Chains A and B, each alone.
Chain A
Amino acid sequence: MEVRDLVKRYPKAQTDAVDRLSFAVEGGEIFGLLGPNGAGKSTTIGVLTTRIRPTAGQALIANLDVMTAPRTVRSLLGVVPQHNNLDRSLSVRQNLLFHAAYHGVPKAVRTRRADALLEQFSLTDRANEKPELFSGGQNQRMMIARALMHDPKVLFLDEPSTGLDPAARLFVWDRIRDLRQAGVTIVLTTHDMDEAAALADRVGIVDSGRLLALDTPSALVRGLSTGSSLQITVEPAGELGMTGLLDRLGTLAGVQRCEQVGAEAGVHTIRIYLTGEAAAIVAPVVAAVSEFGGRLAGVEIGEASLEDVFIELTGRSLR
């Protein structure tokens, strides 16, 4: 799957929703598009799934251009949208069976596959109910099961766990990992850095329609100019020499820089940015604090995350 210089400008829009986006997804990987709402993730998925006409550029699935061979492309892909688009007039089982029938799956195959997927997604008990009163998690499971009924080669999931409770979210994550095991290529969008880090083999960070970075989650985090950090709270135990303490902390091995981020009622908060492991630096920090007349009241280790990558790239937070 590949996107080349993709541009989408909606009619009457001032800017491009997708702005010269290019990336390729390998067969069998989980590829995550991470970015805030409005970054162009869903538009990109819309183009790839033949529902949005690009203004310029090309999108290919299995070397087929989505614009010139939309029917063949649609037979290769499964789509789990962000909103509920289940057929409310049909039961759970009928939703699955009709979806497969639209895709020309023979009757015996679709019956067998529906039973297996209902089981796998814990929907067997409610197979004959209509999805009207289902929870968000049940709807999401149903939509994933439905998307798998015609055995797609690529599965698109648009914000797969938005609005789900933690248990439902973990269930969906597990099923997504199962699918990768089964060889399905997965493209998911998310504005949740935890989700991207937990699921994706590679993550593309998008903002304002542009791709800012693309790599494995760990490589993206490693590439940060800052690594993990240590946040300490210091109470005065005598004559506290803050300036001297900050200078000393800055010279410790493994410390990149440090700054005071808070001072309330005599309690000071200092953030120390590290180049190495946080655990190794704790002892020298304790020693330095007591040397300058302080007492350590709290230590918090902050591991760098994709959120930090996003902040470094855009200067603002994901949320």
Chain B
Amino acid sequence: MLRSFGSVLRRDIVVTGKDLVAFLAQVLLQPVFFLFVFGKLLTGLGYTSSGYSDLLFPGLVALTATVTAIQAMAFPLVAEFSWTKEIEDRLLAPLPLWAVAAEKVVFAMLRALVASTVMFPIGIGVLGSIPYRAGGLGLLIGVMLLGSLVGACIGMTIGTFVPPAKINIAFALIFAPLLFTGATQYPWPSLAHLRWFQVLTAANPITYVSEGMRAALVPNIPHIPGWICLLALAGSLALFGTLGMIGFRHRAID
């Protein structure tokens, strides 16, 4: 079984490897612009304070990891189940159903990890320097891994529950709120004076990725403690992992 699983994963890596540049451009264009306009341009013009880029950078890495994983999962899944039917050959392999789903999750996670890791050299390039401390490395890796996995499972849930014809509208409706309620552009504790929005953002798993990144990279900025972030992400993983598997099974077997 491990060999079959490895072959399915190898297929995805081979296909992505052929379009590595396109893949990176696709996932990095938006965070790079964010970084440039909000971290560099507005700070240079004096509209934001010089510390803002330190706050923004961990949030953008978090956003990149999660959103890349969601997209890497949801769009191909919808296409493969509905239009290209490409997944059928893998569903007919002597693999358990959960392993076919798990491979998709692992692959989406790998894409997300590559994209979010590349954000570091890009951050240095755009901002000149990025916040980093060796002591936070363990937490950083843990949060990135969990954030990517949660993103993949959210993608699997969306990709299997939303009817194919409605996936575009679903993404439009899901993405904007997801993008702006994930504590990416602001630290969560600072929302104390806007209680309703703070409660709302606490429901978005990306908040815990962003805050966990800040706990790892810029602990002097007020943030949600790292262990709470890890716990919340583990909970989200359990929730969306279960929902995604239910959806996957539903789509794979009539």
Using a CB–CB distance below 8 Å, which chain A residues touch chain B? 10, 46, 49-53, 71-72, 74-75, 77, 79, 81, 83-90, 94, 98-99, 101-104, 146
Q: How far is the CB of A107 from chain B (nearest CB, A)?
A: 10
Q: How far is the CB of A114 from chain B (nearest CB, A)?
A: 14
- Among all A-B residue pairs, the 9 with the closest Cβ atoms: A101-B7, A85-B85, A102-B93, A75-B94, A52-B254, A89-B15, A85-B88, A71-B94, A74-B94
Contact partners of A146 in chain B: CB under 8 A: 89
Q: How far is the CB of A94 from chain B (nearest CB, A)?
A: 8
B94 touches A104 (CB 8 A): yes
B93 touches A88 (CB 8 A): no
B84 touches A85 (CB 8 A): yes
Q: CA separation between A104 and B8, bound complex, in Å?
A: 11
Residue in chain A with minimal CB distance to B80: A85
Per the 8 Å Cβ criterion, residues 49-106 of B in contact with A are: 84-86, 88-96
Whether, in the assembled complex, B129 has its beta carbon less than 8 Å from a beta carbon of chain A, the answer is no
Chain B 115-146 interface 0/1 with A at a Cβ cutoff of 8 Å (1 = within) = 00000000000000000000000000000000
Residue in chain B with minimal CB distance to A83: B85
Q: How far is the CB of A289 from chain B (nearest CB, A)?
A: 59
Known: A51-B92, A53-B253, A71-B96. A104 touches B84 (CB 8 A): no
Whether, in the assembled complex, B4 has its beta carbon less than 8 Å from a beta carbon of chain A, the answer is yes
Whether, in the assembled complex, B193 has its beta carbon less than 8 Å from a beta carbon of chain A, the answer is no
Known: A46-B254, A52-B253, A89-B15. A71 touches B95 (CB 8 A): yes
Q: CA separation between A99 and B85, bound complex, in Å?
A: 14
Residue in chain B with minimal CB distance to A95: B89
Contact partners of A10 in chain B: CB under 8 A: 254
B253 touches A102 (CB 8 A): no
B254 touches A102 (CB 8 A): no
Whether, in the assembled complex, B166 has its beta carbon less than 8 Å from a beta carbon of chain A, the answer is no
A104 touches B89 (CB 8 A): no
Known: A75-B94, A103-B93. A81 touches B11 (CB 8 A): no
Helix, strand, loop or mixed for chain A's interface?
A: loop
Q: Which of A75, A88, A98, A103 contacts B84 (CB 8 A)?
A: A88
Given A75-B94, A84-B85, 18 other A-B contacts at CB below 8 A? Answer: A10-B254, A50-B92, A51-B92, A74-B94, A77-B92, A81-B88, A85-B88, A87-B89, A89-B86, A98-B11, A99-B89, A101-B4, A101-B7, A101-B11, A102-B8, A102-B93, A102-B95, A104-B4
B86 touches A88 (CB 8 A): yes
- Residue among B10, B14, B86 facing the most chain A CB atoms (10 A cut-off): B86
Contact partners of B95 in chain A: CB under 8 A: 71, 102
Q: Which of B10, B84, B91 contacts A51 (CB 8 A)?
A: B91
Q: CA separation between A72 and B94, bound complex, in Å?
A: 6
Contact partners of A52 in chain B: CB under 8 A: 253-254
Residue in chain B with minimal CB distance to A100: B7
Q: Which of A46, A49, A84, A103 contacts B4 (CB 8 A)?
A: A103
Known: A81-B85, A102-B8. A90 touches B15 (CB 8 A): yes
Q: CA separation between A10 and B254, bound complex, in Å?
A: 8
Q: CA separation between A10 and B94, bound complex, in Å?
A: 25
Whether, in the assembled complex, B3 has its beta carbon less than 8 Å from a beta carbon of chain A, the answer is yes
Contact partners of B18 in chain A: CB under 8 A: 89
- Residue among A77, A83, A88, A103 facing the most chain B CB atoms (10 A cut-off): A103
Residue in chain B with minimal CB distance to A98: B11
Residue in chain A with minimal CB distance to B18: A89
Q: Which of A50, A75, A98 contacts B7 (CB 8 A)?
A: A98
Contact partners of B7 in chain A: CB under 8 A: 98, 101-102, 104
A102 touches B89 (CB 8 A): yes
B254 touches A87 (CB 8 A): no
- Residue among A53, A79, A101 facing the most chain B CB atoms (10 A cut-off): A101
Q: Which of B92, B253, B254 contacts A74 (CB 8 A)?
A: B92
B89 touches A85 (CB 8 A): yes
Contact partners of A50 in chain B: CB under 8 A: 92, 253
Q: How far is the CB of A99 from chain B (nearest CB, A)?
A: 6
B10 touches A85 (CB 8 A): no
Contact partners of B84 in chain A: CB under 8 A: 85, 88
Residue in chain A with minimal CB distance to B8: A102
Q: CA separation between A285 and B86, bound complex, in Å?
A: 60
